[in-house]
Amino acid sequence: MLLSSLVGKTAIVTGGGTGIGKGITELLVKQGCKVAIASRSLQKVETAAQEFNHKYKTGEGHVIPYQCDIRKSDQVEEMLDSLTSTHGPIDYLVNNGGGQFIMPAEMISPNGWDAVVNTNLRGTFFLTQSVFKKCMKENGGSIVNILMELHGGWPGFAHSVSARAGVEALSKTLAVEWGEYGVSVNNVIPGIIYSDTAVQNYGPFGPKMFREAKKQVPVGRLGTPEDIAVAVVFMLTAPYVTGHSLVVDGGSSLGTVHWWNTVNGMLTGKVKPDDP
């Protein structure tokens, strides 16, 4: 069933050619949106656009690929000018694009820190600011930022978790400043989401890391890009929600699944007491 609020609307999804971003893009297209997907890799977004435009060629929605490094203001402005001149005002923005590499905090170089923070925080802010000034200040709109769980920090990702915490605080600030213009700003915080791209990011250790992560999830499975897409579409269209962060993690952030497995095992006899 189509959501009437999405049909014919224009959205931007950064990093929309792979993983979580691709899942979000597909659901928006299925709901009748025109979706601009942006990435530094033109090949990735062109491939995704060709796939979805063929798959949903009889529907209202379609996908427009753009090569855009959100850290570079000239590329951002060029993309926005092209998109709005052809498809009109931007109604929805999903800031999913970002990047990080695993590294102990003591070993992160200044260049490595800047590369991650400039993408995940600086790039997100200036793209969001540009979309607001060009379209949403006059027409309203909805913005969703894709973050990462922050409650326990993320060892090995000090650069990225710092940037994402900044975006969460930024979202609350913009929700207040831009509320009078009919703009909502929210966050979706995924848990461990399985995709081929995500596993490949960790090389030969990827499969083991995701197998271990599954043990932390009370619902017994890892999340999928489709799980996050449903949450994003809800947040984009929720009429009275702003400044909110929605955690989508199958309960893993509750942090008590190991305790329950032990207790439940004792009660059912699956876990035996230690020998004296």
List, in order, residues 6 or more apart from 85 with CB less than 8 Å away: none
Cα 171 to Cα 124: distance, rounded to the nearest angstrom: 11
Number of H helices and E strands in the chain, helices first, is 11, 7
Domains for the chain: give ranges and CATH numbers.
Answer: 10-268 (3.40.50.720)
pTM value is 0.92
- Condensed to tens digits (0 to 9), the pLDDT of residues 119-177 reads 999 999 999 999 999 999 999 999 999 999 888 888 888 999 999 999 999 999 999 99
b/e sequence 44-83, b meaning 16+ C-beta within 10 Å: bbbebbeebbeebeebbbbbbbbbbbbbeeebbeebbeeb
Range from 55-59, 69-73, 272-276 carrying the lowest mean pLDDT: 272-276
> According to the model, what pLDDT value does residue 2 have?
53
Cα 158 to Cα 177: distance, rounded to the nearest angstrom: 29
Task: Give helix 124-131 / helix 158-177 axis angle, nearest 10°.
Answer: 20
Give me the sheet containing 62-67, strands edge to edge.
62-67, 34-39, 10-14, 92-95, 141-146, 183-190, 245-248
